[in-house]
Amino acid sequence: MTSVSYRGYGGSSGSPTEFGLMRDDEAAYREIRERGYPSDRIVLMGESLGTAVATAVASVHDAAALVLDSPYSSVADVAATHYWMFPAPWLLLDRYRADLAIRHVHLPLLVIHGDDDWIVPRKLSQRLFNLANEPKTFISVSGAGHVVLGAPGVFQRVRVWIDAWTGVKRDNS
């Protein structure tokens, strides 16, 4: 499993602009392909801010599947939810329009979202999911907040879903 620390996160330098994060994900995808991994063995994953970036990569590259943890339709929609009294969407430089990119994704999609997410309302995740092509699966995690992959039992469910789409057989004995 390969993980990317975006610029400005996880000890990486720089600042997390939309353009920069898209370049980071493109570079990560190219690197993994150059290391010899076939597209049918690559599962693109994003959490929170990274879900729009992963969706953009999935819209132009082949992979086995796309998994999104706590996604949203656009950052403007998130801003409008939290700052409804201001024209927040008009003040944003970076829009992270997952809602536009998802229409071009033709991979199996798994969306997981906590029903008590205080950062990205579940309705924005549901909006993105509704725009997505089939096949798609939505897992709502009861009582969970933002970014739920580490919540009890969630990773196991995600792994089973990924294994089903990639054909991986595990000996669980």
Q: Please identify which of the residues 82, 117, 140, 142 carries the catalytic annotation.
A: 117
Q: pTM (2 decimals)?
A: 0.90
- Whether 146 is catalytic is yes
Extract the tokens encoding 83: 């700052």
Instruction: Write out the chain in H/E/C secondary structure.
Output: CCCCCCCCCCCCCCCCCHHHHHHHHHHHHHHHHHCCCCHHHCEEEEECCHHHHHHHHHCCCCCCEEEEECCCCCHHHHHHHHCCCCCHHHHCCCCCCHHHHHHHCCCCEEEEEECCCCCCCHHHHHHHHHHCCCCEEEEEECCCCCCCCCCCCHHHHHHHHHHHHHCCCCCCC
Residues 59-110: tens digit of each pLDDT = 999 999 999 999 999 999 999 999 888 887 777 788 899 999 999 999 999 9
Q: Average pLDDT for residues 126-147, to the nearest whole number? A: 97
- Whether 62 is catalytic is no
Q: Average pLDDT for residues 8-33, to the nearest whole number? A: 83
Rounded Cα–Cα distance for residues 81 and 86 (Å)? 10
- Whether 140 is catalytic is no
Q: What's the pLDDT score for residue 13?
A: 64
Length of the chain: 173
Q: Please identify which of the residues 48, 59, 106, 140 carries the catalytic annotation.
A: 48
